[in-house]
């Protein structure tokens, strides 16, 4: 295993897409058995929206998935905002963050190919920039990949054309993703190649709120990294295989605010060695 001067590998392999590469991080003394450093969020755009609790530190990632479609092509314009050590309870107590950890814009282009009515293959490429607190942590990102989505819808049509509900709707998801970050400072860039595999089951419950039914969607996720990295702080090899198990909840039909459907909310646990932790997921978990 080669030693990596850039500390992005340590967190990338844990499926959290962060880089432990702040210029101040090298001056910190890490507690035994923990990677404690300032995060620069070089790969924050690879994260799903949510609140992460890792080694006693709180990380919030909010990803706004703006997109436009035209003639079979989709232009994605995701804006990602990251906050470190800022918790949801701080909002209730009116303790606002001292500053934004990072803001990234990584536009991309995607094209879907229907293999069957329920199975889609999507090619994508993207490039953008992350502005982080501290100039040494700014970075340019590039990425490309392919994803497969097979979805069994919640309804079916019988031979007479009658639409009938199904008890369970489920999704099988696979994605091969290459991501590269070129840091705009003295620290070296980094990259990762990840194969993500996930399955989700979505079903209605007897519970309801007014005329809306509560839906529960448990899911399993496995990330496989081609090369298991070494943490530059603890100098321990990270696992190539990272797991996540959780569930999300939503209302059907979805309530809206300002004409926008409110996202599902979920809770999951990431099994990632020293950096295992809880996640409050906002929107799609993968």
Q: Say if residue 233's pLDDT is above 50.
A: no
Q: What is the pLDDT of residues 89-123, one digit of tens each?
A: 544 444 444 556 778 899 999 999 999 989 999 99
Q: Running DSSP on this structure, what letter comes out for residue 89?
A: H
Averaged over 5-9, what is the pLDDT? Answer: 36
Of 17-26, 39-48, 69-78, 200-209, where does mean pLDDT reach its minimum?
Answer: 17-26
Question: Which element (helix H / strand E) includes 130?
Answer: strand 119-132
CB-side neighbour CA atoms (13 Å) of 254 = 13
Domain 8-282, classified CATH 2.40.160.40, yes or no: yes
User: How many Å apart are CA 125 and CA 234, to the nearest integer?
Assistant: 34
To the nearest whole number, what is the mean pLDDT of the chain? 75
Q: What pTM, to 2 d.p., does this model score? A: 0.76
* Percent of residues, the chain, with pLDDT higher than 70: 65
Count of CB atoms within 10 A of residue 128's CB? 19
Looking at the predicted structure, is the pLDDT value of residue 13 above 70? no
Most confident of 15-29, 193-207, 229-243: 193-207
Contact 110, 146 (CB under 8 A): no
């Amino acid at each position: 295993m080669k030693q990596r001067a850039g500390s992005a590998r340590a967190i990338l392999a844990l499926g959290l897409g962060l880089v432990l590469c702040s210029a101040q991080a090298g001056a910190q003394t890490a507690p035994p058995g923990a990677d404690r450093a300032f995060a620069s969020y070089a790969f924050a755009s690879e994260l799903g929206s949510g609140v992460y609790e890792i080694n006693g530190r709180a990380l919030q990632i909010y990803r706004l998935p703006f997109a436009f479609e035209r003639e079979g092509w989709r232009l994605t314009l995701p804006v990602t905002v990251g906050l470190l050590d800022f918790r949801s309870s701080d909002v209730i107590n009116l303790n606002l963050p001292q500053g934004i950890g990072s803001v990234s814009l990584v536009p991309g282009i995607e094209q879907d190919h229907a293999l069957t009515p329920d199975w889609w293959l999507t090619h994508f490429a993207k490039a953008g920039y992350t502005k982080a607190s501290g100039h040494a942590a700014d970075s340019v990102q590039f990425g490309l990949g392919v994803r497969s989505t097979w979805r069994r819808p919640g309804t079916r049509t019988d031979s007479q054309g009658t639409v009938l509900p199904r008890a369970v709707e489920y999704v099988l998801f696979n994605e091969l993703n290459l991501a590269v970050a070129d840091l705009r400072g003295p620290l070296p860039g980094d990259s990762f190649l990840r194969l993500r595999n996930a399955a989700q089951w979505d079903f209605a419950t007897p519970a309801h709120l007014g005329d809306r039914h509560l839906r529960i969607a448990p899911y399993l996720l496995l990330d496989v990294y081609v090369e298991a990295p070494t943490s530059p702080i603890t100098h321990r090899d990270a696992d190539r295989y990272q797991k996540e198990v959780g569930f999300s909840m939503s209302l059907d039909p979805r309530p809206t605010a300002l004409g926008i459907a409110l996202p599902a909310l979920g809770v999951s646990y990431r099994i990632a060695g020293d950096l295992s932790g809880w996640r409050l997921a906002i929107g799609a978990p993968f």
